[in-house]
Amino acid sequence: TLAHSAEATSYRYGQNLDIAKVISINVPNSSLCEVVTATMTYRNSAGDVEVLDYEQLSSACTSQS
């Protein structure tokens, strides 16, 4: 329910983040080694809930050699 109360913003490289506590991180499952969009829900130092989208490699990339 917390994630629905805040609108996601996209991370920009070098952006300063005010993260006091991470509430959740959601990474889509993928059987391919590819870039996926993960979502992090967190509280900032003022106690407000924020949602951030960012790109990362899927977990399949770590199991491939």
Arithmetic mean of pLDDT, 40-48 = 97
| 9 within some domain | yes
What's the rounded Cα separation, in Å, for the pair 22 and 37? 17
Print the domain residue range for 16: 2-60
pTM of the prediction? Answer: 0.80
Q: Which residue has the tokens 């109360």?
A: 5
| 19 within some domain | yes
| 65 within some domain | no
Q: How does DSSP assign 1-65, residue by residue?
A: -HHHHS-EEE--TT-----SEEEEEE----SSS-EEEEEEEEE-TTS-EEEEEEEEE-THHHH--
Q: Any bridge partners for residue 56, and if so which?
A: 36
**CATH assignment at residue 14:** 2.30.140.50
Give 6-26 pLDDT, tens digit per residue. 688 999 999 999 999 999 999
The whole-number pLDDT of residue 7 equals: 84
Domain count of the fold of the chain: 1
The whole-number pLDDT of residue 30 equals: 93
